[in-house]
Structure 1
Amino acid sequence: MSENKAPLFYPIAGCETAFDRSHQVVTLLLKYFDDQRAVSTMEGLRMHVDQAQQLIAALQQAVETAKSQPRVVN
Structure 2
Amino acid sequence: MENSFYHQVKWGDAALLKQRLVAKSLPFIIEEREGNIAFVFPDMHVRQYNALRTLIGGAPKFYVKLDR
Q: Same fold (TM over 0.5)?
A: no
Higher relative contact order (CA 8 A, sep 6+): 2
Structure 2 length as normaliser, TM-score?
A: 0.26
Larger Rg: 1
Structure 1 length as normaliser, TM-score?
A: 0.25
